[in-house]
């Protein structure tokens, strides 16, 4: 079971979290202005990264808040977690793993 660092609560076991799909997929501000293709892309097109993936998690059984994470999908390792609205940390600071 992974340890995940909630940016609000700290390191907690994976059981407390729910995965929330790819991060930084913003819902268009004016959906009516989107073409069908643009709307379909918003709905259905997602990264399938082999490597670093920015994704959403929710600390469902904790503070209940959504946050973002960078995870290396090849190693299933969290490189960083950060709050909604924050930019993803730079690659150089991505080597931090939660400590048991």
Partner 1 sequence: MSGDLRAASGGRIDRNRVLRFRFDDREYTGAAGDTLASALLANGVHLLGRSFKYHRPRGVLSAGADEPSALVTVRRDAARMTPNLRATQVELYEGLEAFSQNRWPSLELDVGAVSGLLSPFIPAGFYYKTFMWPRGAWHRLYEPKIRAAAGLGRAPEQADPDIYANRFAHCDVLVVGAGPAGLAAAAAAAGSGARVILCDEQSEPGGSLLAEPAAHSEAAIAGEPAARWLTRTLRQLTAHPRLTLLTRTTAFGYFPHNLLGLNQRLSDHLPRPDPGQPRERQWQVRAREVVLATGALERPLVFPGNDRPGILLAGAARTYLNRFGVLPGSRVVLVTACDAAYQAALDLHRAGVSVSAIVDVRSGAPDGPLLEAARLAGLPVETQATVLGTSGRLRVRAIRIQKLDSAGAPAGPVRRIRCDLVLMSGGLTPSVHLFSQSRGKLAWDESLAAFLPGQAVERVRSVGACRGVFSLAAAVSDGTGAGLSAARDAGFSVSAAIPEAPLPESAAAGRPGALPQPPGVSGEKAFVDWQNDVTARDLTLAAREGFRSIEHVKRYTTTGMATDQGKTSNINALAIVARELGEAMPRVGLTTFRMPYTPVSFGSFAGFARGELFDPVRATPMHDWAARQGAVFENVGLWKRARYFPLPGEDMHAAVARECLAVREHCGIFDASTLGKIEVAGKDAATFMNRMYVNAWANLAVGRCRYGILLRDDGFIYDDGVVARMAPDRFHVTTTTGGAAGVLALMEDYRQTEWPDLDVWLTSTTEQWAVIALQGPAARRVLEPLIEGLDLSAGAMPHMSAARGRICGIPMLLMRVSFTGELGFEINVPADFGLPVWQAVFETGQAHGITPYGTEAMHVLRADKGYIIVGQDTDGTVTPDDAGLAWSIGKGKPDFLGKRALERPALASPYRKQLVGLLTRDPQQVLEEGAQIVPGRHRSAPEPALGHVTSSYHSARLGRSIALALVGAGRSRIGETLYVSMPDGDIPVQVTSPVFYDPQGSRLNG
Nearest distance in Å: CB 90, partner 1: 23
Nearest distance in Å: CB 24, partner 1: 10
Closest CA to 84 of 2, 22, 23: 23
- Closer residue to partner 1 in complex, CB, 34/49: 34
Strands (E) in 14-99, as ranges, are 18-22, 52-58, 66-72, 77-83
Q: Which residues bind partner 1 (CB under 8 A)?
A: 1-3, 18, 20, 26-27, 30-32, 34, 36, 39-40, 42-43, 56, 58, 60, 64-66, 75-76, 84-85, 97-100
Question: What would you report as the CA-atom Rg of the chain, rounded to the nearest whole angstrom?
Answer: 15
């Amino acid at each position: 079971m992974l340890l995940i660092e909630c940016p609000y609560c700290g390191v907690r076991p994976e059981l407390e979290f729910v995965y929330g799909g790819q991060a930084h997929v913003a819902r268009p501000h004016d959906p009516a202005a989107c073409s069908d293709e643009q709307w379909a892309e918003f709905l259905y097109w997602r990264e399938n990264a082999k490597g670093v993936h920015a994704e959403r998690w929710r600390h469902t059984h904790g503070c209940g808040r959504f946050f973002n994470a960078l995870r290396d999908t090849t190693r299933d390792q969290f490189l960083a977690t950060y709050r909604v609205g924050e930019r993803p940390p730079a690659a150089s600071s991505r080597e931090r793993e939660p400590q048991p």
